[in-house]
Amino acid sequence: MSYTIKFLSLQKAELEYEVAVRGGVAADSVNELRRQIVKLSLALPSEDILESHLEPFDDLKAVRESLIKSHNNIISLKTKLDKNLFTRTETLLHHIYHRLNRIDYSSADVAEAYKSCRSHFNSQYKDLTSFKMQSSQVPQVADSSPDPIKELVNVSVSCERKLFSEIGKLKYSGKTCVRAFIQKVNEFIQSRSIPQEKILAFAFEIFTDDALHWYRCIKDRVETWDEVVVLLKQDFSENDYDYRLLAEIRARTQGELENITIYIAIMRGMFSRLGKPLPEEDQLEILLHNIRPCYASTLASSANITDIDSLQNICRNYENIQSRLKRFREPPKVSADTVAPEFAYTKQATTSNSNNNYKNYKQLSHNFNTNYSKNYSNNYNNHYNKYKTTSNPAQQENHNLHVNEMAPANDDNNKKNVYCPRCRSQTHSLGSCQKPRFLICFKCGRKGVKFPDCPNCNAGLAKN
């Protein structure tokens, strides 16, 4: 005898068990539980599940609660026969039947409780069968409650329509990368738990253009989707696909704004497209060559890197540290709103007073020498050029009286050459001059006068 369960007639407690025993995670609402069991029951019928996921005592406790529900339903049926209530009670007893068959009652403690539950089940099922003939003679009363069988059919039809619309997005014309298409189909199957037979049944909707002509030709030779995949790779893959893809892999370096996690994920995706898997050692070598040079110092200080995960962790730590460095800020200064100013950072002097004094002295000395040399050279040149180009005949004649006695010094590289303004000679300096001291204008060489009193060099002073 077949004990068929109409799952949409079960209550929440029984639905949670039916979902859990098939490996699913029970949802909170009844509607969601019904959607779950509709999908799971297609792949795993009740007859194929031979063991329970619960402990025997926990299972028997739940069975007793279900038997109480069915007993109350039978009492109601004895009072007034109702076809919908009869159907729900029959479904509940079928649920109890399959549940009892999965309980292990080999131990003595469990056996006694199991026999009691089995006895109550047999008694209730016998009472239910006595109503079967009577329920067939009772006219059907219009009931506003939904029919569980119709609900199951409607849910199945809606699921099929939804599946058809989603599979319709998987189109392949034969002009794009076949391996990308195969990967997309496999991910679709895995994410929606769809049997491969369903995908094969929708093959005429998936393939278009040249790919559809191809499938019509080979459909009699294939029985599973895996066989279709083998022929797809054979007929639509380019002969040098792996060679060209490997060249693209070696040329694919890390972008400037691309973090290491995304880059390695993309590279692993490219590795997975290869027909012949690349050893992880070769993958690691390519990644070490193609990541950005900024990781070099961090990798050089690390131990020997043997796998891609270690490489990713090291580079990710480097990125985290760099992110912290960019966000680092100097400690704030003390303000009027500072609550604890004694804990605020105070900038310390980096050099001692003696070093500061030495630096100040050195700077002053450099400025003095520069200004003195600049002013002296400029004054001498300015006065000499002024006298040389003057338009005053008397001043020009007065200059000619003394120019023969002392020739002007050569101005080429004046700052570097040794020069004695008293002798007007470049053979020695003023400090090493052996001539006796006498009055002389150091600018124009006129004897008997100093530079402040020299009428040649100070024409305005002579007029006054």
What digits encode the pLDDT tens for the residues 431-456? 788 888 778 887 787 888 888 888 88
pLDDT at residue 409 in the model: 45
Whether residue 47 is found in the same domain as residue 67? yes
**CB 63 within 8 Å of CB 94:** no
What's the CA gap between 118 and 120, in Å, rounded? 6
**Is 252 part of any domain?**
yes
Percent pLDDT > 90 in the chain is 5
Nearest alpha carbon to residue 124 among 78, 81, 84: 78
Find the CATH number of the domain harbouring 460: 4.10.60
Amino acid in the structure at residue 18: E
**Is 11 part of any domain?**
yes
What's the CA gap between 282 and 287, in Å, rounded? 9
What are the phi and psi torsion angles at 172 (to 5°)?
-140, 125
pLDDT at residue 318 in the model: 85
**Is 357 part of any domain?**
no
**Cβ neighbourhood burial of 419 (10 Å; 0-12, 13-18, 19+):** middle
pLDDT at residue 315 greater than cutoff 70: yes
pLDDT at residue 67 in the model: 92
pLDDT at residue 53 in the model: 86
What digits encode the pLDDT tens for the residues 352-402? 555 555 555 556 555 555 555 445 444 444 544 444 444 444 444 444 444
**Hey, which of 280-289, 296-305, 366-375, 386-395 has the most confident mean pLDDT?**
280-289
pLDDT at residue 148 in the model: 44
β-bridge partners, 440? 447
pLDDT at residue 81 in the model: 81
β-bridge partners, 172? 207
Whether residue 61 is found in the same domain as residue 180? no
**Is 342 part of any domain?**
no
Whether residue 221 is found in the same domain as residue 283? no
Eight-state DSSP code of residue 276: S
Beta strands in 314-425 (DSSP E): none
pLDDT at residue 251 in the model: 92
Domain count along the chain: 4
401 vs 88, residue with greater confidence: 88
Whether residue 422 is found in the same domain as residue 409? yes
284 vs 460, residue with greater confidence: 284
Give the Å distances, CA to CA, from 408 to 48, 359, 380, 389, 423.
Answer: 123, 39, 10, 15, 10
pLDDT at residue 52 greater than cutoff 50: yes
**Is 350 part of any domain?**
no
Domain that holds residue 423: 401-464
Whether residue 46 is found in the same domain as residue 131? yes
Whether residue 107 is found in the same domain as residue 208? no
pLDDT at residue 369 in the model: 54
**Is 358 part of any domain?**
no
Among 177-191, 333-347, 393-407, where is mean pLDDT lowest? 393-407
pLDDT at residue 136 in the model: 52
Helix axis angle for 260-272 and 308-327, nearest 10°, is 150
Whether residue 230 is found in the same domain as residue 257? no
Task: Average the pLDDT over 277-297 and give the result.
Answer: 87
Whether residue 33 is found in the same domain as residue 75? yes
* Residue 113 CB neighbour total at 10 angstroms: 18
Domain closes at, from 95, 122, 137: 137
pLDDT at residue 461 in the model: 53
Among 143-147, 214-218, 234-238, 244-248, where is mean pLDDT lowest? 143-147
What digits encode the pLDDT tens for the residues 97-115? 998 988 988 888 888 888 8
Domain closes at, from 261, 290, 322: 322
Task: Average the pLDDT over 51-66 and give the result.
Answer: 89
What digits encode the pLDDT tens for the residues 142-187? 444 444 434 443 444 444 455 555 666 678 888 888 888 888 888 8
What's the CA gap between 345 and 334, in Å, rounded? 8
**Is 374 part of any domain?**
no
Task: Average the pLDDT over 285-304 and give the result.
Answer: 84
Whether residue 224 is found in the same domain as residue 182? yes
Domain closes at, from 277, 296, 322: 322
258 vs 393, residue with greater confidence: 258
Whether residue 129 is found in the same domain as residue 184? no
**CB 61 within 8 Å of CB 52:** no
pLDDT band at 221 (very low <50, low <70, confident <90, very high): confident
Strand, coil or helix: 291: coil
Residue for token pair 């496999």: 186
Q: Which two tokens stand for residue 102?
A: 């999965």
pLDDT band at 299 (very low <50, low <70, confident <90, very high): confident
pLDDT at residue 429 greater than cutoff 50: yes
147 vs 268, residue with greater confidence: 268
pLDDT band at 247 (very low <50, low <70, confident <90, very high): very high
* Residue 272 CB neighbour total at 10 angstroms: 11
Q: Which two tokens stand for residue 105?
A: 């009652």
**Is 427 part of any domain?**
yes
Average pLDDT of the residues of the chain: 77
**Cβ neighbourhood burial of 233 (10 Å; 0-12, 13-18, 19+):** middle
pLDDT band at 336 (very low <50, low <70, confident <90, very high): confident
pLDDT at residue 354 in the model: 52
